[in-house]
Amino acid sequence: CSSCKSTLSSLYDLHCVCFLLTITTQSGRSLFCFCRRTDVVAVTPWLAPIVWEGTFDPVLIDNIYKPMNLTIATTVFAVGKYVRFLQDFLETAEKHFMVGFNVRYCVFTDRPHDVPSVNLNQGRHLSVIQVPGSNRWQEISARRMEIIQTTIEHQIRREADYIFCLDVDSKFHAHWGAESLGRLVAVIHPGYYEQTRDRFPYERRPASTAYIPMDEGDYYYGGAMIGGFVEDVYTLTKVCRNKFEEDAGNSLEAAWQEESHLNRYLLYNKPSKVLSPEYLWQDFKAKTKEVKVIRFSGVIKNYAEVRPNV
């Protein structure tokens, strides 16, 4: 039932203070054990888990969640020339993303006839939603929050329990499963996970509603992944959309569009689970000693060629 799903998700969000203790089943198998990784920080200051390889049992966690018959909505924007990335995104998702779960892909595109035909596994469906194109990539980026919000209102909240909003110019490389489920889930940006917060590219202009002062901030979260309960992500997108529109009314555009507003929102509405950069790497970056597995990464591309403006 929905109550059980909520209770269990909350339990595993907290991991039962698993950075100190190990959760085990009656058979003695470990679910989570953050003490296994001493080379990385595996818990936030507000006691949310940071999910790294070696801190969870992927098979056992997936097997706990699968009997709940969950559905995970997955939104992806393939606007303009970005539609070329969709086939690799979908084909690799079918191999690695939420395997064995019900998944509903929502593809937003201005080129519905260019959406490739991909063989989907049982319980997985794809719907194509036409959206307008733009001559500015910044506008496409900024409208994502609005489009996701309205699609949750009209469709997704009736169809899914969880939602992940992902970038299309990316590929899956390894297991991404139920260990990522939580009430509100964010991912640490791979370009800044080793940086101090004074180096984060937050919006620094006080006039913007995305403003974060120099002495505030926890992590720099990547805008290429937002996840969680459908209703929690709905609230996030609604607030960020309203803040963006407030800025636009004052002739302001945040430094990194929706990513700036996302970081502001998550500063004051802490995520219940944080994914490590394993879940949002960049193909041009060499794997570091902390990143044992690359699960999802942005592909190398020529921005001048794929974007309508640079």
Q: Which two tokens stand for residue 261?
A: 């507003």
Q: Which of 203, 75, 247, 43 is nearest to 144 (CA)?
A: 75
Q: Please, how many CA atoms are within 13 Å of residue 168, restricted to the half-sphere of its CB?
A: 22
Alpha helices in the chain (DSSP H): 2-14, 58-65, 86-96, 137-151, 157-159, 230-249, 257-268, 303-306
Q: Using CA atoms, how far apart are residues 32 and 61, in angstroms rounded to an integer? A: 9
Number of H helices, E strands in the chain: 8, 13
Report the distance separating Cα 165 and Cα 226, nearest Å.
5
User: How many Cβ atoms are within 10 Å of 70's Cβ, its own excluded?
Assistant: 18
- Is 303 marked as a binding-site residue? no
299: annotated binding-site residue?
no
Q: What angle do CA 234, 239, 244 make, to 5 degrees?
A: 125
Q: Pick the catalytic residue: 153, 259, 290, 305? A: 259
- Residue 246 annotated as part of some ligand binding site: no
DSSP assignment of 70-102, as one string?
-EEEEEEE--GGGGGGHHHHHHHHHHHBSTTSE
DSSP 124-139: EEEEEEE----S-HHH
Active site residue 216: no
- Is 167 assigned a ligand-binding role in the annotation? yes
On whether 78 is known to bind a ligand per the annotation, the reply is yes
Q: Binding residue per annotation — 259?
A: yes
In sign, the C-alpha dihedral spanning 66, 70, 71, 73 is negative
168 assigned to a ligand binding site: yes
Which parts are annotated binding residues for Mn(2+)?
167, 169
Binding-site positions read 77-79, 82, 167-169, 189, 259
In the annotated binding site for UDP-N-acetyl-alpha-D-galactosamine, the residues are 77-79, 82, 167-169
Please list the active-site residues.
259
